Amino acid sequence: MTDYIRWFRDLGVRDVPLVGGKTSSLGELYNTLGKEGVRVPNGFALTAAAYRDALTKAGAWEKLQALLSDLDVTDTKALARAARSARAIVYAATGTDEIRGEIETAYSALQKEYGRNTAVAVRSSATAEDLPNASFAGQHESYLNIAGLDDVVEACRRCFASIFTDRAIVYRVNNGFDHFKVFLSVAVMKMVRSDLAASGVMFTLDTESGFRDVVFITGAYGLGETIVQGQVDPDEFYVHKPTYQQGHRAILRHTLGAKQVKLVYQRKKGDATTLLKPTTQADRKRYCLSNAEALELAGHAIAIEDHYSKEAGHPLPMDIEWAKDGADGKLYIIQARPETVASQRTTDVVETYALKGKARVLANGRAVGEKIATGKARVIRDVHDLTKFRQGEILIAETTSPDWQPIMKKAAAIVTDRGGRTCHAAIVAREMGVPAVVGAETATARIKTGATVTVSCADGEAGHIYEGKVPFDVARMSIRDLRHPKTAIMANVGNPDIAFHAAMLPNDGVGLARMEFIINESIGVHPMALAQPKKVASAADRRKIERLTAGYRKPADFFVEKLSEGVGTIAAAFYPKPVIVRLSDFKSNEYASLIGGRGFEPTESNPMIGFRGASRYAHPAYAAGFALECAALARVRGEMGLTNLRIMVPFCRREDEARKVIETMAQHGLKRGENGLEIYVMCEIPNNVIRIDAFSEIFDGFSIGSNDLTQLTLGVDRDSEIVAFDFAENDPGMLEMLRLAVTGAKRNKRHVGICGEAPANDPEIARFLTKLGIDSISVNPASLVKTMKIVAEAEGKA
């Protein structure tokens, strides 16, 4: 008998020609990473030789050549006929006694290890699979929870035949693979009962930006097919690799998914089948993994990436499938392969998209990619609609499947009602480089076929579908020959959703991380309303707070977790570069607009110079809220290990006020100098400049806030239509203020930077500050490259 069987213990990464990428990787994991706690179920493979020899003996190659050689894959009907005939040829050819005998011997051995009628997963593995320029993900079939020899043999034959699914044929044609140089192996491995628990996918980079310092984990209840097929909005977890490797064990950020359904097993008349069941409301409201389990998976992912990177001789981001067994409660790795999309992007040219107009929002979801596209919508409700799809249309569907790939290739953008950022629609969109919005919920109900829509993924994690044609700009900048100036060019970042993207641009850290955006967008509740919920007067607001904080021990924990995750995400994105976060700087009218806020805020006629910034922090009216801010920042620096975080005090009028804030922060675990903590102050009030020597004794550095400093120096409200023309950051008086601030800080050996947009908007101001020797200039991410060029030029002329 020919030996067509290889056990996982006998396989490694160099056996791709023998058993394909998927199975050789399972063998590598099984053999090398078990000692590090990475669990891989045991199994065996039918080699690609079994496939080749069977087709040769059956004289199948000539028949397949005749079917596929001149096939036009854009003709969906002809494609379906040819693929169906090709599968029948392979299925018949692989039904030999020889192959059955080999499977019987190996399956018997597996039953001795795991028990009689062991349930197995039967999975295809192509010998050209998982190459750096193609993933082959989802192209061939897998069969789960198969038990008994007859069913295992049947599943193996159907796997072999799936090399000629419609989608696999199209994929090979589009990626330049020869149909007759790609062979199929079949893996048979012990089934992990994730139908009783949870499963998902994780990557050792951020799939949207390509940022490599995080592990990104998605998960849902039941079998993982619901995530890949976009049938659920999964839970998401991020773990920061550098601080994890230093011993810190903290979830950087997590998002609760709806997890609407779960795929489980059921048996009918002896055949293993799956059943899609709705999840309970209780399950939807909790994460499918505990934080400890997510951290365990992150540790496995880091170990796997490290191992494969050493094998490859260069960093190799990984795409990994995991499953939790509901029977034994343990986590297993069931597949690992190199990530083939985000890691392959070029970074020589920075391309940024920006909307230039407004329109009615039809639907919102999770953004995939960073682009914008406009086109006519085509709503696809079932396979019968696929033939109507035309090049350049916007695909709108409840979900997508691998069979849709031929028409997805024609789409200008993709929108789905359901799915997370690792579903099939998201994977295909990334490969094709088109924007997609997944989990848009009402898209198919609110968007009609033929309507012109604009799909925007240019605003971080949130994706939007707008009515009509909204104008947008595309800016492309080469950074290949960009010269970095001596002056640090830093980024202003408020939205954690764009932090990973911004960190991929040339930068020297973050000069201004705005806390207000996180509080407004991720929390939405007044800090005092969470610190003292019983004092919230409005019954409606109390109900909103109860809904938002459900599952937390107390409402204050919700604030600390959400704020620390937002700030931590920004700090992690730029780690180990400095990230300066500004304490909350809402004005009283802005605070009052938050949920529960009206009862905690005074009514002021001029909030801009009222109860804001430092004056709030030690005041009884806000002291409990400030304690929560400090607790969140202490968690970022302590539990998360992100000691690159520096803290900045805004709108600090006098030295006494400054000392009181410093003392209050120390009482809440943020002591200046402890564990390297530096505390800066915004230099935005004329008194900060006039008394800069005194402020230098209290703070480690200054950041000039050019907006407020200009308003208060010139006495002009830049938001007033009548006098806004007098707002001039290049006014001689303002330039003198900048000179005094920079020279005063330098005289006291204190860091001094500027975090307004003045240097980006006016190159002369950038040149002026450079000649003064300012330490850093912080601008919006879109202005980083432009500002670097201006400053480098100014330094050259200095």
Q: Which residues are catalytic?
A: 424, 755
Report how far residue 295's alpha carbon sits from residue 274's, in angstroms, rounded to the nearest whole number: 30
Half-sphere exposure of 790 (CA within 13 A, CB side): 22
Q: Is the dihedral of CA 281, 282, 283, 284 positive or negative?
A: positive
Give the residue among 345, 446, 329, 461 at the shortest CA–CA distance from 39: 329
* Token representation of residue 233: 């909005």
For 313-422, where are the alpha helices, taking DSSP H only? 405-408
Tracing tokens 């909005």 back to the chain, one arrives at 233
- 366: Cβ–Cβ under 8 A, 6 or more apart, which residues? 233, 419, 420, 421, 437, 438, 439, 461, 462, 463
Q: List CB contacts of 75: < 8 A, sequence separation 6 or more.
A: none
> Amino acid letter at 442?
T
Sign of the C-alpha dihedral, residues 633, 637, 642, 647?
positive
> Which residue, 289, 273, 298, is CA-closest to 326?
289
Q: Which two tokens stand for residue 354?
A: 């920006």
Question: Could you tell me how many residues make up the chain?
Answer: 798
User: DSSP secondary structure string, 472-494?
Assistant: EEEEEEE-TTPPPPSSEEEEEE-
Report cis status (omega within 30 of 0) of the bond before 686.
no
Nearest to 535 by CA among 631, 620, 455: 620
| Cβ-Cβ contacts under 8 Å for 721 (sequence gap 6 or more) | none
End-to-end Cα, the chain, rounded Å: 81
CA-derived radius of gyration, the chain:
29
Q: Tell me the C-alpha distance between 324 and 288, whole Å.
A: 10
